[in-house]
Structure 1
Amino acid sequence: MYLRKIETVDLPAVVGKETGGGIHPYHEILFISEGTVLLQWINRDYVASAPALFLLSPNTPHTLIRKSAFCRFGFIELDMEGSTEFPNLAQARLWNGMQSDKDPLGAGIASIYEMAFQIWNNLNPLNPYKSIAMDLIPLDIRKLLLLVSCFLNAREPRLADPSRVPAFPDKADATERIHKVIRYMESNYQNPLTITLLASHVYLDVSYFIRSFHKIVGKTPLQYLHELRLNAAISFLSTTKMSIQDITNEIGFQSIHYFSRLFKQKYGVSPSLWRTRHIS
């Protein structure tokens, strides 16, 4: 494990403004020590108040937005150099989801936050061990990651090893997973969704996921997603005065032209003409 960067950032600026993020090929630990933030990570939103610890896998897009007048956070960029000490993507998703609702998690998670505070306290100029701080920090990071992994393995043992979740399950298991992803699509249809993301949500090989979805639902995942979005469009067209562009944005389409083309294919007319004909 190689420590690329560790830093603390104070954000006393305007509430709601993006403070950072992006995508990079390194693992990242993000610790919110004061304030409240919104983390957007792999098409999900996590609102969390300090203390909160986020684990970000390499090459995963993320954006941090402050939600309180003052926010302080620390970040660590790590090159794991092939090590498996950092929780896998499935574990990171589970862990990050816990940051919005920490109260039920008990003392176990509190000790993890204490360890995180200790890591950044090594940078304190008043730290009596500041001369060896950069030697201590990697050791503390390893301890932090071990605590997180132990905590997660106790709650969801199968996520410790994704190979224990077969990408080609039996018929009953596949049906259960497809219904799970359907519920996920129905709750998140307005967000950017890809076939790869949907397949990974239920730990399925992409090709197997598409075949299984079509066999169970009678249409492809993309067709089902379009159906959800177009049904939502009909509701907005018939009950609101929202513009076509606003409806396009609201239901998750990136292009008004693409939305209009799909709408016309299904209903035979453009969204504007449908509204004119159906709303007196």
Structure 2
Amino acid sequence: MNTFTGNTLTQRSIPFILHESRTQFDWRGQGALSLKTFRYGTSLYEAGHGHFSVGHDRYLLLNEGQEYQLHIDSPVPVESFCIFFPPGMVEEVGRNVSSSDRYLLDEPYALSSACSMDWVERTYSMEDPLGAALARLRSSYVSKTLDAWGLEEQLHQLALHMLVLHREIRCEIDQLDMVRSSTRDELYRRIYIAHEYMTAYYSQPITLAETASAAHLSVNHFLRNYKKLFGISPHQFLTERRLQAACQLLSNSDLPVTEICYRVGFESLGSFSSLFSRRFHLSPSQYRIKR
């Protein structure tokens, strides 16, 4: 575990950085506003009503004060790189971005009086601007090429990316055709709970009813609004998720095609082969040879 200090930083503004590797780990508790990334394996979080699978291509954002459980069980060490923000830090960056130069000249050290921001707890792509910034920070941190000043600057940039992400998600929510803002917020969060549930448990025999229930939605309500938000049906997403997982195993393992079929969640080899061929224009065996 590592932290950093600097003469210009107050205790309130110092984030905490966790970087370590574990093959097995279980933890339950309450955390700060945080960004969580993992490499060389997958970690499973349960937070609020959500289930989140976090691997090398996604990062997880959790709110300050959120109760959560973390589970790691891997044959190889899973590397974590997580940023925990002190209360008010990101809001203070936002105050500086949104305030006029005149105000900031008059009140350079005033603390933000705004309430804590409410973030949408979900996984996000490591290819988005915030994910890319996290990857750069991890690389610099692990290689020890930054002093405290450089690290502070990168963390400031990270907070700026978080504020942009928050605005983008707000725009996504506002596109939902509900009259009340609170209804849009709640529906967006529940649909994403179901989406993350499918992402986390795609390899298991989960059902439509079970997935809708995880988000406390009726099946019809879930189906209708999932397609509005994602542009595809839950079944189409789940099938694609399983096919992509199969591609990874075909490319990176010697497992038999039949075992891969069942390992990624398909119930029938014939159905798997047909869907795979239709999606990639190659049979699973042909795909393996070409890869």
What is the TM-score normalised by the length of structure 1?
0.45
Instruction: Specify the structure having the higher radius of gyration (Cα).
Output: 1
